[in-house]
């Protein structure tokens, strides 16, 4: 996890809020550093994490996780992390005969209407174990990312329904958190992606939006991050606050600074 981002979000692993949906989106840049941040954040917070990783392999996340101080392999072995590796298990859908529906069953069906098998997988992974002692603090669902589900043939409403059920189960019933990443196509006219992004924006409590700089690529400033808090628990005078910071990604951390205040410029 990136300590500076924790400071900006005013949170630490010990006292993070529960029952929240966090939306990560990126436009003209790669927002996956936010996924790595939240993965290591919640593992350090001793949460039970279900990670639906559709974009990269387990070893990729594991290598980055080691730089951030968490070991995904050990987390998986002790049962803290349930990892659905989309790239590997997509092959299982086709080649292995499964009795119960596979989480990625929609890849096989011609007219898959919904993501119910994927939801059942998530619910099964995060349901509390009645063993008497509570090993983990609260469950967390992490999805990287939802836009690829649109590319794989699901409709925007089907993906919204999936997140709706995840919210109902993970956020409301189990008092956990959900973090999802959606790409913003920006100029490309992708109506389904826009419906997905706007629909999730309305349901989210926190939106982190990583944008490339309008002027193009820069060596010292990799992009800017917009933080938008929605639906705070108490409606105060300053509801729906929004902040913008610029950032630079380094090997093991990300440094944030106010616009125009990059150390390279000053």
Partner 1 sequence: MTPSEGARAGTGRELEMLDSLLALGGLVLLRDSVEWEGRSLLKALVKKSALCGEQVHILGCEVSEEEFREGFDSDINNRLVYHDFFRDPLNWSKTEEAFPGGPLGALRAMCKRTDPVPVTIALDSLSWLLLRLPCTTLCQALHAVSHQDSCPGDSSSVGKVSVLGLLHEELHGPGPVGALSSLAQTEVTLGGTMGQALAHILCRRPRQRPTDQTQWFSILPDFSLDLQEGPSVESQPYSDPHIPPVDPTTHLTFNLHLSKKEREARDSLILPFQFSSEKQQALLQPRPGQATSHIFYEPDAYDDLDQEDPDDDLDI
Q: Which residues bind partner 1 (CB under 8 A)?
A: 114, 116, 119, 157, 160-161, 164-165, 168, 172, 194-195, 198-199, 201-203, 207, 228, 230-231, 234-238, 240, 242
**CB nearer partner 1, residue 157 or residue 218:** 157
Residue 21: asked if its preceding bond is cis (omega within 30°), the reply is no
Q: How far is the CB of 219 from partner 1 (least distance, A)?
A: 32
**CB nearer partner 1, residue 13 or residue 128:** 128
Q: How far is the CB of 150 from partner 1 (least distance, A)?
A: 15
Kind and range of the H or E run holding 128? none
Q: Please check whether residue 42 is in contact with residue 12, taking contact to mean a CB–CB distance below 8 angstroms.
A: no
Q: How far is the CB of 7 from partner 1 (least distance, A)?
A: 23
Q: How far is the CB of 186 from partner 1 (least distance, A)?
A: 15
The span from the CA of 187 to the CA of 94, in Å, is 35
The span from the CA of 94 to the CA of 135, in Å, is 36
The span from the CA of 238 to the CA of 149, in Å, is 36
Q: How far is the CB of 171 from partner 1 (least distance, A)?
A: 8
**CB nearer partner 1, residue 42 or residue 165:** 165
Q: Report the b/e string of 151-181 with b at 16+ CB within 10 A.
A: eeebbbebbbbbbebbbebbbeebebbbbbb
**CB nearer partner 1, residue 72 or residue 174:** 174
**CB nearer partner 1, residue 128 or residue 199:** 199
Tokens of 51: 């990670």
């Amino acid at each position: 996890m990136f300590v500076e981002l924790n400071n900006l979000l005013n949170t630490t692993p010990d006292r993070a809020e529960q029952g929240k949906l966090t939306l990560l989106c990126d436009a003209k840049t790669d927002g996956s550093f936010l996924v790595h941040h939240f993965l290591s954040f919640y593992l350090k917070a001793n949460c039970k994490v279900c990670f639906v990783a559709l974009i990269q392999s387990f070893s990729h996340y594991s290598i980055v996780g080691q730089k951030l101080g968490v070991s995904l392999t050990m987390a998986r072995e002790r049962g803290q992390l349930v990892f659905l590796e989309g790239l590997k298990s997509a092959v299982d859908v086709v080649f292995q005969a499964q009795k119960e529906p596979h989480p990625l069953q929609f890849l096989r069906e011609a007219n898959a209407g919904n993501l119910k098998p994927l939801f059942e997988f998530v619910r099964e992974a995060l349901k509390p174990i009645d063993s008497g002692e509570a090993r983990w603090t609260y469950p967390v669902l992490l999805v990287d990312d939802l836009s690829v589900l649109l590319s794989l043939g699901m409709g925007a409403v089907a993906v919204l329904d999936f997140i709706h059920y995840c919210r109902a189960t993970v956020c409301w019933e189990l008092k956990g958190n959900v973090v999802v990443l959606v790409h913003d196509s920006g100029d490309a006219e992708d109506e389904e992606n826009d419906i997905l992004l706007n629909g999730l924006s309305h349901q989210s409590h926190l939106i982190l939006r990583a944008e490339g700089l309008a002027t193009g690529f820069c060596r010292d400033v990799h992009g800017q991050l917009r933080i938008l808090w929605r639906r705070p628990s108490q409606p105060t005078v300053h509801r729906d606050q929004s902040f913008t910071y610029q950032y630079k990604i380094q090997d093991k951390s990300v440094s944030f600074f106010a616009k125009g205040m990059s150390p390279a410029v000053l």
